[in-house]
């Protein structure tokens, strides 16, 4: 068992607290950061043959960084995951260097492996509509069938994350034309709600046997508790099998579809960024690559080649 210096662990905790307080980082993000940094510290402890306190950590070399990255790759860590881990280490070291007053250049100069950005995989417009329609006819209990259709309509019609849709409470009812959503990192955004989405939720609420108290979740499981995201995923799994759609047709793919179809209809990239709640425009720009790729597919199929 590798023993990590308590001082180093405390430093990691202090940095994570700063990420939470100053940057509003989500808990899942903080958990991933902590795991990446503990893994890094454990490797350096083994690599150096002793627990690495603050002093030794300030003296890490580029060679030490390369050794860690080589070990991670040999253990099967992919380029994308390693780039994420390295980003966490560098962020931590920038903070640590400012606090301890040392030069972090050897750590910061470690280069992330190159990887091909993973493009969003949206559904075609007719497939997205068919998915919602199919999901809304799967269950014999009318209120559950209406619930499933309402959740998927919100994902596609408003671009919500599944956690955001399932986070709605009775206070949000009846849905208005604009919905205030609390997204990742506690960031608020305003999302327009299409009439079809408002109607789908209203139909479900009318049929639902459970009372819609202000603090209670809107979407309920069969016994009245909060709806488990896994049940939404299973609903889409069954629907995509019925429709012959690929495994990429997931609840999150409906959010991708919302953004891609808006962009294809001439939507402004900055506006789509705001609607999705992306912190960085570069994340939203991934949808332009999808739109371009589809345009080229149409071109290849339709252009009369010589």
301 found inside a domain: no
213: helix, strand or coil: coil
The answer on 212 and 141 residing in a single domain is yes
The answer to whether residues 98 and 234 touch, using CB atoms and an 8 Å cutoff, is no
The answer to whether residues 133 and 249 touch, using CB atoms and an 8 Å cutoff, is no
State residue 230's pLDDT score.
92
The answer on 161 and 40 residing in a single domain is no
Q: What is the CATH number of the domain that holds 193?
A: 1.10.443.10
| Cis preceding linkage at 66, omega within 30 | no
Query: Of 217, 240, 256, which residue constitutes the final position of a domain?
Result: 256
Q: Is the per-residue pLDDT at 249 higher than 50? A: yes
The answer on 163 and 72 residing in a single domain is no
The answer on 140 and 247 residing in a single domain is yes
The answer on 198 and 89 residing in a single domain is no
| Pairwise CA distance, residues 18 & 33, whole Å | 12
270 found inside a domain: no
Q: Which of 153, 154, 149 is nearest to 167 (CA)?
A: 154
| Pairwise CA distance, residues 61 & 71, whole Å | 16
Better-predicted residue by pLDDT, 122 or 227:
227
Please identify every residue annotated as catalytic: 161, 184, 252, 255, 278, 287
283: helix, strand or coil: helix
131 found inside a domain: yes
Residues 6-22: pLDDT tens digits?
888 899 999 998 888 77
Q: How many domains does the chain have?
A: 2
Residue 297: pLDDT band with limits 50, 70, 90: very low
Query: Of 53, 75, 108, which residue constitutes the final position of a domain?
Result: 108
State residue 159's pLDDT score.
83
For residues 272-298, average pLDDT: 51
Q: Is the per-residue pLDDT at 144 higher than 90? A: yes
The answer on 217 and 98 residing in a single domain is no
Query: DSSP code of 244?
Result: T
268 found inside a domain: no
| Pairwise CA distance, residues 223 & 206, whole Å | 17
For residues 34-57, average pLDDT: 88
The answer on 221 and 179 residing in a single domain is yes
Query: Of 214, 233, 256, which residue constitutes the final position of a domain?
Result: 256
State residue 117's pLDDT score.
56
199 found inside a domain: yes
Query: DSSP code of 172?
Result: G
The answer on 198 and 163 residing in a single domain is yes
The answer on 135 and 68 residing in a single domain is no
Residue 62: domain span: 6-108
| Pairwise CA distance, residues 188 & 182, whole Å | 5
Q: Is the per-residue pLDDT at 64 higher than 70? A: yes
208 found inside a domain: yes
216 burial (CB, 10 Å; 0-12 / 13-18 / 19+) is middle
The answer on 103 and 132 residing in a single domain is no
Query: DSSP code of 189?
Result: E
Using a cut of 0.75, tell me whether the model's pTM lies above it: no
Per DSSP, what are the bridge partners of residue 189? 181
| Pairwise CA distance, residues 155 & 286, whole Å | 19
Q: What is the CATH number of the domain that holds 29?
A: 1.10.150.130
The answer on 220 and 129 residing in a single domain is yes
State residue 306's pLDDT score.
41
* Residue 211 neighbours by CB distance under 10 Å: 9
């Amino acid at each position: 068992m590798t023993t990590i210096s308590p001082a180093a662990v405390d430093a990691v905790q202090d940095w994570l607290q700063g990420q939470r307080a100053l940057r509003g980082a989500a808990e899942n993000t903080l958990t991933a950061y902590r795991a990446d940094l503990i893994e890094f510290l454990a490797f350096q402890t083994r690599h150096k043959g002793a627990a690495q306190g603050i002093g030794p950590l300030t003296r890490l070399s580029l060679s030490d960084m390369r050794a860690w990255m080589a070990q991670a790759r040999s253990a099967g860590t992919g380029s994308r995951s390693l780039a994420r881990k390295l980003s966490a280490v560098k962020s931590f070291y920038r903070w640590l260097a400012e606090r301890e007053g040392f030069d972090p250049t050897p750590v910061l100069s470690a280069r992330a492996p190159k990887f091909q950005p993973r493009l969003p995989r949206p559904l075609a417009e007719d497939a997205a509509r068919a998915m919602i329609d199919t999901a809304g006819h799967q269950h014999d209990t009318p209120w559950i069938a209406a619930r499933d259709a309402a959740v998927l309509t919100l994902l596609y019609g408003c671009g919500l994350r599944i956690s955001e849709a399932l986070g709605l409470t009775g206070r949000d009812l009846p849905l208005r034309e604009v919905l205030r959503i609390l997204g990742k990192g506690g960031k608020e955004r305003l999302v327009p709600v299409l009439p079809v989405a408002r109607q789908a939720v209203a139909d479900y609420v009318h049929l639902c046997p459970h009372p819609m108290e202000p603090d209670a979740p809107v979407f309920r499981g069969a016994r009245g508790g909060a709806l488990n995201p896994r049940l939404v995923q299973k609903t889409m799994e069954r629907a995509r099998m019925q429709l012959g759609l690929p495994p990429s047709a997931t609840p999150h793919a409906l959010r991708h579809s919302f953004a891609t179809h808006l962009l294809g209809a001439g939507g402004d990239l900055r506006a789509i960024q705001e609607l999705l709640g992306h912190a960085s425009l570069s994340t939203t720009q991934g949808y332009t690559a999808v739109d371009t790729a589809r345009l080229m597919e149409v071109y290849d199929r339709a252009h009369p080649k010589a």
